[in-house]
Structure 1
Amino acid sequence: MNILRILLIFIPVSFIAEYMGAPQTAMFILSALAIIPLAGLMGEATEEISFYSGPRVGGFLNATFGNATELIISFFAMKAGLFDVVKASIAGSVIGNILLVLGASMLIGGLKFKRQTFNQQATEISSSMLLFAVIGLTIPAIFTHTVAPELLTTRYEGLSILVAVIMFSIYLLSLVFSFFTHRDIYSVDHSQESAAKWSLSRGILVLVIATIFIGVESEIFVGAVEPMSEAFGLSELFVGIILVPIIGNAAEHSTAIVMAVKNQMDVAVEIAVGSSLQIILFVTPVLIFLSLLFSPMSIIFNEFELIALIFSVLIANRVANDGESNWMEGIQLIAVYAIIAGSFFIL
Structure 2
Amino acid sequence: MSPLFKEIRGSPILWLLAAVPVVFLAAALFPEAHTALFVLSVLAIVPLAGLLSHATESVAAKTGDAAGGLLNATLGNLTELVIALAALQAGQYTLVKASIAGAIVTNTLFMLGASFLLGGLKYHIQEFNRASARLQAGLLFLATVALLMPSVLGGLDTASVAPVTQTLSLSLAVLLIIGYGLGLLFTLGTHREFFSSADHAEAGEAPWPIGLALGTLAGVTVLVALVSEIFVESVQEAAVAFGMTPAFVGFIVVALVGAAAEMASAFSGARKNRLDLSVGIALGSASQIALFVAPVLVLMSYVIGPSPMDLQFWPGAVMMMFLATVTAMFVTNSGRSAWFVGVLVLMVYIIFATTLYVLPPAVR
Cα separation, 1, equivalents of 2:57 and 2:71: 8
Change in Cα spacing, 1:201 to 1:188, as seen in structure 2 (3 Å) is closer
Matched with 2:118 is: 108
Q: Structure 1 vs Structure 2: percent identity of aligned residues? A: 38
* Residue 16 (structure 1) aligned with residue 28 (structure 2): no
Q: TM-score, normalised by structure 1?
A: 0.90
Distance 1:236 1:298, change over 3 A: farther
Which range is displaced more, 101-110 or 226-235?
226-235
Q: What residue identity is the alignment partner of 2:328?
A: A
SS across alignment from 1:150: coil
Matched, 1:142 2:152: yes
Q: How does 1:26-105 map to 2 (within 5 A)?
A: 26-50=36-60, 57-105=67-115
> What's 2:183 paired with?
174
Separation in 2 of the partners of 1:111 and 1:272? 19
Q: Report deviation, 1:171.
A: 0.7
Q: Aligned to 1:297, which of 287, 300, 309?
A: 309
Task: Report which stretch shifted further, 213-222 or 177-186.
Answer: 213-222
- 1-side partners of 2:120 and 2:179: how far apart? 34
1:137 is displaced (CA, Å) by 1.1
- Provide the C-alpha distance between the structure 2 equivalents of 1:206 and 1:111, rounded to a whole number of angstroms: 30
Q: What corresponds to 1:333 in structure 2?
A: 345
Unmatched 5+ residue regions in structure 2? 1-6, 360-364
What is the CA-CA distance between 1:84 and the residue it aligns to?
2.0
Residue in 2 that maps onto 1:307: 319
1:259 to 269, 273, 276: 269
Q: Tell me the SS of whatever aligns to 1:8.
A: helix
Work out the number of aligned pairs and report it: 346
What corresponds to 2:362 in structure 1?
none
How far the C-alpha of 1:138 sits from its partner, in A, is 1.0
Instruction: Check if 1:283 corresponds to 2:293.
Output: yes
Match of 1:320 among 328, 332, 347: 332
Q: Quote the Cα distance in structure 2 between the aligned partners of 1:189 and 1:120.
A: 9
Q: CA deviation at 1:280?
A: 0.7
**1:123-202 mapped onto 2 (5 Å cutoff):** 123-145=133-155, 147-190=156-199, 197-202=207-212
- Contact 1:39 1:66 (8 Å CA) reproduced: no
- Give, in angstroms, the shift of residue 131 of structure 1: 0.9
Contact 2:139 2:287 in 1 (8 A): yes
Shift of 1:49: 4.1
1:237 partnered with 2:247: yes
Distance 2:244 2:207 in 1: 43
Unmatched segments (≥5 aa) in structure 1: none
Residue in structure 1 matching 2:235, options 225, 230, 233: 225
Partner residue, 1:342: 354
* Partner secondary structure for residue 9 of structure 1: helix
Deviation at 1:88, TM superposition (A): 1.6
Hey, what's the Cα distance between the residues in 1 that align with 2:53 and 2:301?
27
Closer/same/farther in 2, CA of residues 200 and 111 from structure 1, 3 Å limit: closer
Deviates more, 1:89-98 or 1:208-217: 208-217
In the alignment, residue 188 of structure 1 is paired with which amino acid? S
- Of 208, 221, 224, the residue aligned with 1:214 is 224
Distance 1:330 1:274, change over 3 A: same
| Superposed CA RMSD | 2.4
Q: Distance in 2 between matches of 1:313 and 1:49?
A: 28
Measure the CA separation in 2 of the matches of 1:70 and 1:123: 23
What residue identity is the alignment partner of 2:20? I
CA contact (8 A) 2:129 2:335 kept: yes
Distance (Å, rounded) in 2 between the aligned partners of 1:219 and 1:274: 23
